[in-house]
Structure 1
């Protein structure tokens, strides 16, 4: 097996996109994988494919996270790699953005990171080669019109990552973020559908328009992001700490 043989990887938002791709790659390296997400029907096929553990969990509910993390720990042992990937997006003019939308995005994309990190740190501060990886976005590195709540949440994710990296720099834990541009995932599909509803473009044309916002003119693949996540888990990545790894085709260059 690979470098992760017998180690426990916990991934939130593990049923689709980046989470599912990371689960497959870490399992291929020998990790025992726990997949968390809102919908068990999305998680279970991935879990069955990689002999992992699927656990339904709403990451905006700290008590639910505590129960889910305890179930994962019971099934697969203490956490070695934790990938906080669950996230949602939306887009609208700022003056037409409801406070409820802002609260929902912040709760999923930022507050859940705070809760998740606090709940896994006791495991991650014990033993060698522990990793905490936050799936942020290039939206956490610059501004973005018509997406203020999402951009604010991802700036918060980057700030939290850097702060934890510094606080625990002298331990055996590293804390890093991956910052992709537009990725070929269900979230981009939803964005394309929203664009199509308010424009004269088809959904396919809207997807193409999003792809062209990436400097290389194409959508990033989930596997490309997952490969960076796996690399951050590697034993030789122990000096990468507090990094924001961009997977964006040059968009943030």
Structure 2
């Protein structure tokens, strides 16, 4: 029997990328895992492959989040992972862009964590982990809205860690730099279109932004999540775990 047997985990944005890696890691330790996202066909494929529970949910829609949690019931482990990463020059930006980023990344984390806590046995045991970003600690050139939203997620986590400090539930944020996901592929295409670079050069733009010059594997994020859910992490609360390749 593995150490998460009997626990139920919910991972938002769990059908691809970082979320899928986390869901697989939690399931490997015996957790019952629900994955959420907007594209039910993606969720159902992952569920078929790995035995997850697929729940269609749009984290930017409060009613959708509530309905999704009602399907799963008690939640012991909550991974607030869903989000979007887009940049824009503030001089060319508009309120619609700002609201899109904030509604998904910050409002979505708030709705998800609130509904998860309402169904979590907070006087017994619980883990709340938000996937923020290195941009939530340092900012990110050309991505004012994204960086602001991820700073907001970190503030939310740190405050809840204080609010629940006397209870056996912890709140932590993982803050990765550039991770090898579909977001990299999409951003690479945008760089190629904008600059005329070839694919390798466009990819190198993002790779070089990581201090160690390589993209981070989603499995590295998943292993950090497992540690935060493990038996030796009960005193780690309100932390921002930077996974970036940068010396600390």
Category of TM-score, reference length = shorter chain: over 0.9
CA contact (8 A) 2:133 2:177 kept: yes
Report what 2:147 is aligned to: 151
Match of 1:210 among 203, 206, 212: 206
Superposed, 1:60-209 pairs within 5 Å as: 60-73=60-73, 78-209=74-205
Give the Cα separation in 1 of the matches to 2:178 and 2:122: 35
The answer to whether the aligner puts 1:241 opposite 2:241 as a matched pair is no
Q: Secondary structure at the match of 2:200?
A: helix
In the TM superposition, residue 98 of structure 1 has moved relative to its aligned partner by 2.3
Name structure 2 gaps, 5 residues minimum.
none
Q: Deviations over 1:95-122 (max 9, x none)?
A: 1122211100101110111111111112
TM-score relative to the length of structure 1:
0.95
Pair 1:3 & 2:6 matched: no
Structure 1 stretches of at least 4 aligned residues deviating more than 6 Å after TM superposition: none
CA distance in 2, matches of 1:203, 1:109: 28
RMSD: 1.2
* Paired position in structure 1 for 2:52: 52
- Any conservation in 1 of the 2:7–2:32 contact (CA below 8 Å)? yes
Q: CA deviation at 1:235?
A: 2.2
Query: Quick check: 1:47–1:54 contact (8 Å CA) kept in 2?
Result: yes
1:80 CA drift (Å): 0.5
State the 1:45 CA deviation.
Answer: 1.9
- CA-to-aligned-CA distance 1:84-103 (integer Å, 9 cap, x gap): 00010111211112221110
2:9 and 2:75 in contact (8 A); partners too: yes
Looking at structure 1, the residues matched to 157 and 118 of structure 2 have their Cα atoms a distance apart, in angstroms, of 17
| Match in the other structure for 2:19 | 19
Query: Are residues 1:35 and 2:35 paired?
Result: yes
Unaligned runs of 5+ in 1: none
Distance in structure 1 (CA, Å) of the matches to 2:137 and 2:129: 16
